[in-house]
Amino acid sequence: MHWKADLKTAGAGDFTIPIIETREDACKPANAKLVSEARGIFLGGGDQVKLITILSGTPVGDAIWDNYVSGGIVCGTSAGAAAITELTLAGNEVDEEGNLVEQYIGPGLGLLDFKTLIDTHFSQRRRLYRLFVAIAGYPEIMGLGIDEDTAMIVRGEIGKVVGKGGVTFVDGRTVKFDNAEEVTKGRQLTLSSLRVGIVGTGYTFNLREREIEALLDERPIRTSLRGRQTLDPRGSR
* pLDDT computed for residue 1 by the predictor: 58
* 78 belongs to the catalytic site: yes
* 2 belongs to the catalytic site: no
The burial of 90, by beta-carbon neighbours within 10 Å (0-12 exposed, 13-18 middle, 19 or more buried), is given as: buried
* 56 belongs to the catalytic site: no
- Annotated catalytic residue, options 21, 36, 93, 121: 121
Q: Identify which of 217, 87, 202 has the alpha carbon closest to the alpha carbon of residue 142.
A: 87
Rounded Cα distance between 116 and 169, Å, is 10
Contacts of residue 217, Cβ cutoff 8 Å, sequence gap at least 6: none
Report pLDDT digits (tens) over 35-81.
999 999 999 999 999 999 999 999 999 999 999 999 999 999 999 99
- Annotated catalytic residue, options 36, 70, 93, 96: 96
Q: Are the beta carbons of 170 and 145 closer than 8 angstroms?
A: yes
Report pLDDT digits (tens) over 8-37.
888 888 888 888 999 999 999 999 999 999
**Three-class secondary structure of residue 191 per DSSP:** strand
Rounded Cα distance between 204 and 213, Å, is 6
Q: Which CATH class is domain 2-236?
A: alpha beta
What number of other Cβ atoms are within 10 A of residue 61's Cβ?
Answer: 20
Report pLDDT digits (tens) over 140-192.
999 999 999 999 999 999 999 999 999 999 999 999 999 988 876 667 899 99
Rounded Cα distance between 124 and 136, Å, is 22
For the chain, the structural domain boundaries read 2-236
Q: Identify which of 121, 112, 125, 122 has the alpha carbon closest to the alpha carbon of residue 153.
A: 112
